[in-house]
Chain A
Amino acid sequence: MATAPQSNGLAISAEHLVRRFGQFTAVNDVSFQVQRGEIFGFLGPNGSGKTTVIKMLTGLLPLTAGKALVEGIDVSTDPEAVRQNIGYMSQRFSLYDDLTVTENLQFYGRIYGLPPDRLKRRMDEIVQLNSLSPYLDRLAAQLSGGWKQRLALGCAMLHEPKLLFLDEPTAGIDPVARRQLWDLLFELSGHGITFFVTTHYMDEAERCSHVAYIYYGRLIADGTPNSLRELPDVQPHGTKRVEVTTPEVTRALRFARQLPGIRSATIFGQSIHALVEEHFDLNDLREQLLKNGITVGEIRPLAPSLEDVFVELTYKHQAETEAARV
């Protein structure tokens, strides 16, 4: 390779990325770093700039401003060297339906210029890893969603990239295939491969070793899931979170929201998650509920979920934007 990757332990270093489309700023001063071997979860609502950031990092879209190093290579100066060193799997899996599993793999192997012997070895490894061997001669069109996704992942990894971009890899596939994919990602990350994964599933976000949340072009959260849970904005000083299980969630919620000392409350299935004052007495809460004829199961302290984290940060960001406008 022309450009020797700098080995500073970073798979991705994004500094003040900006991308404008005419008047519209799709990505606004976004900075983050991804360590080698991490599973980096990149979250955000649709249209918030996730795909744009991926396109900037893979050299598909020029940066309006900022600097991005991917595997130590500057995407603005040598996008081709970047592409040789990364794998990319789009949400549509991007396979050739009228080609067989083998032919799809061969094609991507040749595109990356693998010599025949290495291509053969890598194909064997990929087939083994993704358990594709029963389907080798089947047309991609005839595979189910989960197998398509494995094949697409296989195609993206043939050239042994150290960094893989997976754009909503689990959208529309069944839960078993979803679980299996994550098992595979953990296994591979154990071998030092870095993953940049976008997703809408909060449980997937919880599995990442590093998450970032982008909201309308701005990065509003960046860290490990645990460090985000402890952010002062998420867990304001002098408050705690509790979970109340009850068969009558709607009534309980209506009642709980009126109680002094409860800052906010939401329904989670058969329970209520509430943010309460530090000194709020949980036994008192139970008695109050019982007195009003509401059956109560358990009441226990709760760590905020990542969903809580993103909800809180989004509110805070909206409030700040409003304040700035006034």
Chain B
Amino acid sequence: MSNLFRGFRAVFFKETLHVRRDPSTLFFSLVIPLLQMVVLGFGIDTNIRQINTVVFNADGRRESRELIDRLKNSDTFHIRRYVQNDRDLNDEIIAGRARVGIKIPVDYSDRLLHQTGAQVLVLIDGSDSSVAGQAINVTTAIGLDESLRRVLKDRGAMAVEMRPKLLFNPDSRSPNFFLPGLTAVLLLNVTTFLTAFSIVREKERGTLEQLFVTPVRPLGLLLGKLLPYLVIGFAELCAIVTFMRFVFQVPIHGNVLLLGLFSLPYLFVSLSIGILVSSKANSQSEAIQLAFLTFLPSIFFSGYIFPRETMPKFFYVISYFVPASYYINITRGIILRGAGLSHLWLDALALFAMGTLLLVVAARRFQKKVIMA
């Protein structure tokens, strides 16, 4: 058994020396992700507010102005301009200066008065689906509310009242939603490059070829390379979580130690991906290209931005093969939902299995096609 991992200790010590000799690697892998996190954490608001809106109020009487005030007060719409004809209304949207155009017809107040049903035209720019969705929801809700108010004349109660209660993130704070997922992407980014570069550099220098003439075994070599970077990845995780908690004030509802423990298999997978990349790439630039192949699926198919459940069947199945899917469930689970071992052990196990598989595949690739000149 120990024969299978032959050379592990020697490679591990050597790799630690490389890291110590090259503090810039350490610096970049620890500080750059934090910078990215600060920029994205402050810069991105996942709640849609203050949509640019243009209004053509052909009526202009009190009822129509009240309606416009209600739209303004919703915080969803920001009225940039009032126009006086249909053409300008359209132009504003086509030019991208407004995403929503609202036209209140000339007979709006009259129809309300005669209770013949007033209509308001809402033009929505469909080129951004989340903005469009929000605009539809809010305008529809305001319309419904306005109608009910007139029918009930603030006397009776509503027959059915929905009372939504947001669990885990009651204020809908963006960082709470955004940062636990970002953790997965940042860790993947850093760790994949660490192992990939470390091996590709040896290919470029010719030292890998030299190693293959020694009795070192592929698994010993690869694990010796992986472990020091697992430590760096873990340090990175600690830094990210500390930032998340104290700079972005994201409350951690679950057990931090469990988060640390369940991050290990994810780090293991990302490092193994880096090793697999290095078994194919012969230069650092090739390694960068290959590593990027793994990043986009991790962002888009992991549920980080778009929910996995809404994906077409095919891509939903694919998302099961994306390690970040499991890890995002773990981070959001522990940090936001206060999930525990019993809820998440399967995700951790899946990650560990993936990592092992990738590492063994990489080891076999190294064993087989030993460098050809």
Contacts and interface: CB of A to CB of B under 8 A. Distances in A.
Contact of B206 (A58, A61, A90, A110): A90
A92 B203 CA distance: 12
A280 interface: no
B21 A111 contact: no
B14 to A, nearest CB: 5
B214 A94 contact: no
A138 interface: no
B299 interface: no
Contacts of B10: 107, 110-111
Interface string A89-108: 01011111111000100111
Interface residues of A, number: 29
A55 B369 CA distance: 12
Interface string B331-373: 0000000000000000000000000000000000000001111
A103 B207 contact: no
A201 interface: no
Contacts, number: 67
B9 interface: yes
A295 interface: no
B215 A112 contact: yes
B214 A103 contact: no
Given A107-B13, A110-B9, A94 B206 contact: yes
Contact of B213 (A88, A103, A107): A88
A59 B213 CA distance: 8
Given A98-B18, A99-B17, A107-B13, A90 B210 contact: yes
A35 to B, nearest CB: 22
A60 B213 contact: yes
Interface string B1-42: 000001101110110011001100000000000000000000
A178 interface: no
A236 interface: no
B205 interface: yes
B19 to A, nearest CB: 10
Contacts of A94: 205-207, 209-210
Contact of B370 (A60, A98, A110, A165): A60
A107 B13 CA distance: 8
Contact of B13 (A86, A92, A110): A110
Given A92-B206, A94-B207, A96-B18, A84 B9 contact: no
24 contacts: A59-B213, A60-B213, A60-B370, A60-B371, A61-B370, A83-B215, A86-B213, A90-B210, A94-B206, A94-B209, A96-B205, A98-B18, A98-B21, A99-B18, A99-B21, A106-B13, A107-B13, A107-B14, A111-B11, A111-B216, A112-B215, A113-B6, A113-B215, A165-B213
